[in-house]
Structure 1
Amino acid sequence: MAEHPAYPVGLRLTGRRVVVLGGGQVAQRRLPALIAAGADILLVSPEATPSVEAMADTGEITWARRRYEPGDLTDAWYALIATSDPETNAQASAEAETRRVWCVRSDNADAATAWTPATGHSEGVTVAVLTTRARGRDPRHTAAIRDAVVEGLRDGTLVAPHHRTRTPGVALVGGGPGDPDLITVRGRRLLAEADVVIADRLGPRDLLAELPPHVEVIDAAKIPYGRFMAQEAINNALIEHAKQGKSVVRLKGGDPFVFGRGMEEAQALAQAGIPCTVVPGISSSISVPGAAGIPVTHRGVAHEFTVVSGHVAPDDERSLVDWPSLARLTGTLVVLMGVDKIGRIAETLIEHGKSPATPVALVQEGTTAAQRRVDATLATVAETVRTEDVKPPAVIVIGEVVSVGPKTPAVAHPVTPE
């Protein structure tokens, strides 16, 4: 038989019967996509991996715990044959041919009537890469092509023009802690498609250099005790540009809703009737300690962590923080925006029972090339900030986890669940 390239097609399997033979690693990889497609899935296999078994337990698939029997492919639209027995695979493949059921075989692509492409997804687009001929197929090369295309779509380096009118609106994008590689793939894609970007000082600034020349960048930097753009002015700028039919990205450091005033902007946009998309970001409260080698929780050391804003002192009437309660907690305390208030914060925690010897770490410019870590205790942290000239932005970690590191011995007496 002469070889011809496969004909690519997208199967709409919602509510349609799909039979999977074999519950091993192949099924474990392929089943999630079939479930996502809404297929009515029958798995026929005497055994299954724990992950596949969990799919059956939750009702996502129906599991017949036995070997393949002739007739199992009755009324099927599609079949995946992936047992460890070549004779069974050949018998099932012959039934599929007789019943005109498109069939994929994991053990012999040449004998199959269908091939599974290497697929990936990026915001409503499915990328499927298929080798043109069965013989000489290189799955790794096919997967590499898929990965390159999907990554290009996600990070904006591969941009296809929109031929349909885009709905104008605003995306509140969390840019992460500073390293441009730590923005989410969705955030990076929206940034690449933006007409206007209103950026914070703490956002990943390196990404702005990658924007096309036509993109308008507005500096909304809020430098402490220096020049700043009032929140109302930021809200007005978002609304004004969106009403002009532009795609607007509000690029913020960390996560928009973690001390980022993102909800204020979302509320202003809602009142103006502007569509708003929120793209979560990696919060510096977790990522920066992690980048400095500090786990905010650790077995046998801390079962909780609390994130608190230190932009106002504990004795300030504007403070909404219950500092006495925080002092009684045994877990980790992460303080953001508190470098210039750390002396008073430490005094308050000690006054309410926290040990003066409690370890403290200050991580300045976390996840960036300028990152540095300075260690102290509650008793010494105020003086350490002065002598080491620690400047914002810096994340402050208070608790025993500061002393935990890769060389720390494992917990000798782990907690046993009741």
Structure 2
Amino acid sequence: MKVYLIGAGPGDPGLLTIKGKDVLQKADVVVYDYLASDALLGYARPDAERVYVGKIAGNHALSQDGINKLIVEKAKEGKIVARLKGGDPYIFGRGGEEAEELLAAGVPFEEIPGISSTIAGPAYAGIPLTHRNFSSSVTLITGHENPDKPGSVHNWKALAASANTLVFVMGMKNLPDIARNLIEAGLPADTPAALVHWGTTAKHRSLAATIGTLPEEAVKNGFTNPSVIVVGKVVSLHDRLNWFEQKPLLGRSVVVTRAREQASGLAAQLAELGAEVIQFPTIDIRPLADYADVDAAVRDLPRYDWLIFTSANGVKCFWERLEAQGLDARALHGLQVAAIGPATAQAVR
């Protein structure tokens, strides 16, 4: 038994670590969050149990206590559990709490770090969190608390006077209060500030403004959670370094209906262009229970005039049966061969 607390990264499935992928491929159970990309579940074994425990504001599939209990129970059944958490488990992910529960229950565990949205979202939006000309340090801050509550953990004056980059997560609801508190603490209202929504995913979009105008611009442009708030002079690089939002299919969803084993190339090309790829196979390629008739036809090729392939699957399966009979391309001597596909079919001797 063992539990792996895996950082799923910020949303782009390509940002999962190799170690995280290796664990997913061997896990008996995958317990995953709302912010963990669905594409990552494709790495799990077909027979692995998948348990969704996502938490969205006002809609929790399972409480944190329930999640803690679940991963302990699954591990004590003797299973390898992959606890897949968006971003990095130990950066505002409550992974530390889950690790403490596992330790108290005597369950061995490992934490596999992931790329945090606090870093990756701004990077994809062209905002380096540090830069020699603008900022030499970064402060990561939760925006989830009420900024006006007594005993707030935030020292607003220190944050406003730090001259570094401030990154707030889970702060959209409190954005007006965050901006007001920073300005009242002495941060100039014209300090560059930005929002990055669903950073690194096909839903990614960003908005650059100032800390004084950002709350109003957020409403005007319909920004909601999950969004990262970035405050600091590094935001001035947004317009010049914003490489990800230049992708032509960003914001578009494309359904790929090919068989899953054949769709990977097309899906990768679409994703590279920025599209959200939804794989929805409408066919399933499976071996026949009995190849007797096919094998008989392969052995009797000389009596045919034409060999016609209607798909790449046909070519692959035919060649497998040809080799199974101990034959090779010489068995096609005298046949006319045609392939039907995107290109014009051509007959060859």
Where does residue 314 of structure 1 map in the other structure?
A: 147
User: 1:318: Cα distance to partner?
Assistant: 6.4
Give the aligned CA root-mean-square deviation in angstroms.
Answer: 1.4
Q: Which amino acid aligns with 1:247?
A: I
Aligned partner of residue 47 in structure 2, secondary structure: coil
Please list the CA deviations of residues 173-226 of structure 1 after superposition, one character each: whole Å capped at 9, or x if unmatched.
001111111011000110111111110111122111343331111111010122
Contact 2:5 2:110 in 1 (8 A): yes
**Structure 1 pair 169/359, CA: closer, same or farther in 2 (3 Å)?**
same
2:108 is the counterpart of 1:263: no
Distance in 2 (CA, whole Å) between partners of 1:364 and 1:407 is 19
2:123 is the counterpart of 1:272: no
Q: Which amino acid aligns with 1:235?
A: N
Aligned positions of 1:268-307 closer than 5 A: 268-307=101-140
Please list the CA deviations of residues 26-60 of structure 1 after superposition, one character each: whole Å capped at 9, or x if unmatched.
xxxxxxxxxxxxxxxxxxxxxxxxxxxxxxxxxxx
**Structure 1 pair 407/253, CA: closer, same or farther in 2 (3 Å)?**
closer
Distance in 2 (CA, whole Å) between partners of 1:218 and 1:276 is 18
Contact 1:313 1:345 in 2 (8 A): no
Where does residue 205 of structure 1 map in the other structure?
A: 38
User: 1:320: Cα distance to partner?
Assistant: 1.8
**Structure 1 pair 194/318, CA: closer, same or farther in 2 (3 Å)?**
farther
**Structure 1 pair 265/318, CA: closer, same or farther in 2 (3 Å)?**
farther
2:184 is the counterpart of 1:351: yes
Please list the CA deviations of residues 251-298 of structure 1 after superposition, one character each: whole Å capped at 9, or x if unmatched.
001111100111110110011100001101111111111111101011
User: 1:406: Cα distance to partner?
Assistant: 7.9
Where does residue 190 of structure 1 map in the other structure?
A: 23
2:37 is the counterpart of 1:171: no
Aligned positions of 1:347-386 closer than 5 A: 347-386=180-219
Q: Which amino acid aligns with 1:243?
A: K
Where does residue 245 of structure 1 map in the other structure?
A: 78
Aligned partner of residue 241 in structure 1, secondary structure: helix
**Structure 1 pair 271/339, CA: closer, same or farther in 2 (3 Å)?**
same
Aligned partner of residue 306 in structure 1, secondary structure: strand
Distance in 1 (CA, whole Å) between partners of 2:34 and 2:240 is 36
Please list the CA deviations of residues 92-111 of structure 1 after superposition, one character each: whole Å capped at 9, or x if unmatched.
xxxxxxxxxxxxxxxxxxxx
Distance in 1 (CA, whole Å) between partners of 2:214 and 2:21 is 37
Distance in 2 (CA, whole Å) between partners of 1:358 and 1:212 is 49
User: 1:376: Cα distance to partner?
Assistant: 1.8
Report which of the two has the higher share of helix. 2
Where does residue 51 of structure 2 map in the other structure?
A: 218
Aligned partner of residue 242 in structure 1, secondary structure: helix
**Structure 1 pair 378/405, CA: closer, same or farther in 2 (3 Å)?**
closer
Instruction: Flag the structure with more relative contact order, 1 or 2, with Cα contacts below 8 A and sequence separation at least 6.
Output: 2
Using the size of structure 2 for normalisation, the TM-score is: 0.67
Please list the CA deviations of residues 59-113 of structure 1 after superposition, one character each: whole Å capped at 9, or x if unmatched.
xxxxxxxxxxxxxxxxxxxxxxxxxxxxxxxxxxxxxxxxxxxxxxxxxxxxxxx
User: 1:398: Cα distance to partner?
Assistant: 0.5
Aligned positions of 1:3-402 closer than 5 A: 168-317=1-150, 319-402=152-235
Aligned partner of residue 217 in structure 2, secondary structure: helix
Off by >3 Å, runs of 4+ in structure 1: 405-408
Contact 2:6 2:82 in 1 (8 A): yes
Contact 1:360 1:377 in 2 (8 A): yes
Aligned partner of residue 404 in structure 1, secondary structure: helix
Contact 1:312 1:318 in 2 (8 A): no
**Structure 1 pair 318/256, CA: closer, same or farther in 2 (3 Å)?**
farther
Where does residue 161 of structure 1 map in the other structure?
A: none
Distance in 2 (CA, whole Å) between partners of 1:189 and 1:329 is 41
Contact 2:8 2:114 in 1 (8 A): yes
Contact 1:314 1:323 in 2 (8 A): no
Distance in 1 (CA, whole Å) between partners of 2:12 and 2:226 is 14
Where does residue 98 of structure 1 map in the other structure?
A: none
**Structure 1 pair 235/180, CA: closer, same or farther in 2 (3 Å)?**
same
Distance in 2 (CA, whole Å) between partners of 1:339 and 1:376 is 15
User: 1:319: Cα distance to partner?
Assistant: 3.4
Distance in 2 (CA, whole Å) between partners of 1:228 and 1:405 is 36
User: 1:405: Cα distance to partner?
Assistant: 5.0
Higher mean displacement: 267-276 or 218-227: 218-227
Q: Which amino acid aligns with 2:162?
A: L
Aligned partner of residue 23 in structure 2, secondary structure: helix
Contact 1:170 1:248 in 2 (8 A): yes
Give me the identity figure in percent.
44
**Structure 1 pair 356/317, CA: closer, same or farther in 2 (3 Å)?**
same
Please list the CA deviations of residues 126-184 of structure 1 after superposition, one character each: whole Å capped at 9, or x if unmatched.
xxxxxxxxxxxxxxxxxxxxxxxxxxxxxxxxxxxxxxxxxx11000001111111011
Aligned partner of residue 402 in structure 1, secondary structure: helix
Contact 2:122 2:196 in 1 (8 A): yes
Q: Which runs of 5+ in 1 are unaligned?
A: 1-167, 409-418
